[in-house]
């Protein structure tokens, strides 16, 4: 994940926002449309390894992500969280990131259970363009 900002191809990598220490990127394998991740530029795995400035900005950018999703996607709620370590479900265990998942009433369905298939109502590139336009 930490190599994506260095590539300077934000739209291709779905990087929505860059702060001084952290950035917002769309999850390439989203739970729901608008599933964001906030990550530090530094390659760290442990929350306690965030420097004070990184941690403060990380939280501020989470708030910015919530505001953006509320305005553009109008979700009814959110799941926000960290999966620390592979056994905790971290898909990218070596790079700390916070998930922001917009939620709507009835947004779960039977497809993942029956056929290991996830149905999304919007293409990732469309979600990126709508959110980026608002920023």
pLDDT digits (tens, 9 = 90+) for 30-89: 889 999 999 999 999 999 999 999 999 999 999 999 999 999 999 999 999 988 878 877
pLDDT of residue 31: 86
Of 130, 80, 127, 122, nearest in space to 100 by CA:
80
Q: What percent of the chain has pLDDT over 70?
A: 89
- 43 has catalytic annotation: no
pLDDT of residue 118: 58
H or E element, residue 65: helix 52-73
Residues 52, 135: Cα–Cα separation, whole Å: 26
Point out the catalytic residue in the list 35, 58, 97, 99.
97
Q: Which domains does the chain have, with CATH numbers?
A: 5-134 (3.30.428.10)
Write down the H helix ranges in the chain: 10-13, 52-73, 111-115, 124-134
């Amino acid at each position: 994940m930490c190599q994506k900002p260095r590539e300077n191809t934000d739209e291709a990598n779905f990087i929505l926002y860059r702060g001084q220490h952290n950035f917002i990127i769309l999850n390439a394998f989203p739970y729901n449309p608008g599933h964001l991740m906030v990550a530090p530029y530094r390659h760290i795995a442990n929350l306690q390894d965030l420097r004070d400035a990184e941690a403060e900005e990380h939280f501020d950018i989470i708030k910015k992500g919530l505001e953006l999703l509320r305005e553009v996607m109008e979700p009814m709620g959110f799941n926000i969280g960290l999966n620390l370590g592979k056994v905790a479900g971290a898909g990218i265990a070596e790079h700390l990131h916070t998930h922001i998942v917009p939620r709507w009433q009835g947004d779960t369905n039977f497809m993942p259970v029956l056929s290991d298939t996830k149905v999304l109502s919007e293409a990732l590139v469309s979600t990126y363009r709508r959110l980026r336009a608002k920023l």
